[in-house]
Structure 1
Amino acid sequence: MKFMLPIVLVALLAACGETAPTAKQCGVYAIGPNQIKKILASQQSEPAPGRTAKADLPADFPTALLDPENFYRGMGVYCSADEARQALIDQKHQDWGVFEIESDWNNNVYKADDGAYHLRESAKIKKAVE
């Protein structure tokens, strides 16, 4: 019994540095115009944009898409293809689809001031989901 306490303490301390698995494992999905499917097929795909300073954006970039710090928030993303599909319905987009982004939710997605999730850094559009 005397030796069990140190072993239990070491085990507990070792576990403190580990991140607990999230309740919901997320992929990274986005919605966009179906023209992206043609671009993906041509192998000339541009990455999905991440958070970008206004100075690095085109002069005619819509200011409504900027956060209070004058950054484009980054492409809006969803945890699952089903959530992205629901966004298509909610936002009443026609001729749009769901796309999988080659990125990691835990390392490259953040919740912005608008309450939505966005890419922190640009990432490759992996494929059209449908």
Structure 2
Amino acid sequence: MKIMLPILLVGLLAGCGETAPTAKQCGVYAIGPNQIKAIVGSQHSEPAPGRTAKADLPADFPTALLDPENFYRGMGVYCSADEARQALVDQKHKDWGVFEIDSDWNKNVYKADDGAHHLRESAKIKQAVE
């Protein structure tokens, strides 16, 4: 009986309180050149770009970065700083870092035709993570 009481108590308490999250909680992180660190928060800081029509891009914008509908997909983003760090390793970038984007994953991130996640709308670069 002594063993059963703690088991019953744990079972009872497990059924109370908060429910388990049904969706993965994501931040919004990107990778980019370390030069961004020097301008984050300054008047020269540009937002991380979102999905953009070809007509709104510079004439010399690389066509390889356009989707089949002739849109720039938007900056590639990651759910966590660790995923972004792994992308740095996988892509073998030198002098690049991880940046937190001031955006909401559920509202402003989409999975594009290339299988990666991208910003739907431009968003402020909040801070360098490291």
Bin for the TM-score computed over the shorter chain? 0.7 to 0.9
Residues 114-129 of structure 1 correspond to what in structure 2 (within 5 A)? 114-129=114-129
- Larger Cα Rg: Structure 1 or Structure 2? 2
Unaligned runs of 5+ in 2: 1-19
**Equivalent in the alignment of 1:84:** 84
| CA displacement 1:49-94 (0-9 Å, x = unmatched) | 0000000000000000000000000000000000000000000000
Deviation at 1:23, TM superposition (A): 3.2
Structure 1 gap ranges (5+) = 1-19
Distance 2:41 2:70 in 1: 34
Q: What is residue 113 of structure 1 aligned with on the other side?
A: 113
| Distance in 2, Cα, partners of 1:105 & 1:111 | 11
Question: Equivalent residue for 1:13?
Answer: none
- Superposition deviation, residue 39 in structure 1: 1.2
Among all aligned residue pairs of Structure 1 and Structure 2, give the percentage whose two residues are the same amino acid. 91
2:28 is matched with 28
Question: How many residues matched?
Answer: 111
TM-score (norm 1): 0.82
Contact 2:101 2:123 in 1 (8 A): yes
Paired position in structure 1 for 2:63: 63
